[in-house]
Amino acid sequence: MTTFQRARSEEQRSERRLGILLTASAMLSEMPVSEVSLNELSRRAGLAKSGLLRYFESREAVLLELLTLAARDFLAEAGEQLASLVDAQDPLEVRAEAVASGLAASFGARPMLCELLSAQAGVLEYNVSVEVATRFKQTARGSLPGLAEMLRKLLPELGQEHSGQAATLIILLIGGLWTHTNPAPAVRAVYRADPSFSFMDSEFTDALHRSLSVLFAGFLTLG
């Protein structure tokens, strides 16, 4: 990132904001949300803490914007990826399984998105102003219909109502499953030391695949 004494033009401000977001993204490739501190983010971005706060009001505001961008990229990329995996001429159960498998793999390939979704309601939506929360929710309000439309194109049998409900549940599933399949080091050590806990130790993509298969089967039986 180019370093300015002070970003004065809108172009410089945009570049500075992008640099902060890229720094936060790089940190999330190394650590969970809980370990991303404002002090370390500022240091890595080459800014004083007060300087960073000129662009984002809090650590949570940075991460919410990063989540917005990650969700947008997911919708842009995953639709094409899934469409290539699903043959509209296949029986419904075959298409539903292909969508469940493809979605699970797509989310599994985006750990930062899953990490941010897992922290959204319990962490990221705190310590932000009404303005930041409103902007984020307005974007999210557009993202869910985007996911629902993707599902409806691949599985038109879901219909508008059920595809919307499925999209909401998918986001909730990802948040919960990511947390439980990426436990704290102490819990991971327990799983390794005692095989009797193996039923609690699951891999995220496999767990999401199984959950989505059940979710789609349930909604499709509703007609």
- DSSP-assigned letter for residue 129: -
Predicted confidence (pLDDT) per residue in 159-173, tens digit: 999 999 999 999 999
The answer to whether 95 and 213 are in contact (CB under 8 A) is no
Which domains are assigned to the chain?
A: 1-56 (1.10.10.60), 58-222 (1.10.357.10)
Coil vs helix vs strand at 104: helix
Q: Which residue has the tokens 């401000």?
A: 13
Predicted confidence (pLDDT) per residue in 109-152, tens digit: 999 999 999 999 999 999 999 999 999 999 888 888 999 999 99
| Residue 221 clears pLDDT 80, i.e. is over it | yes
Predicted confidence (pLDDT) per residue in 31-81, tens digit: 999 999 999 999 999 999 999 999 999 999 999 999 999 999 999 999 888
- The burial class, CB within 10 Å (0-12 / 13-18 / 19+), for 35 is exposed
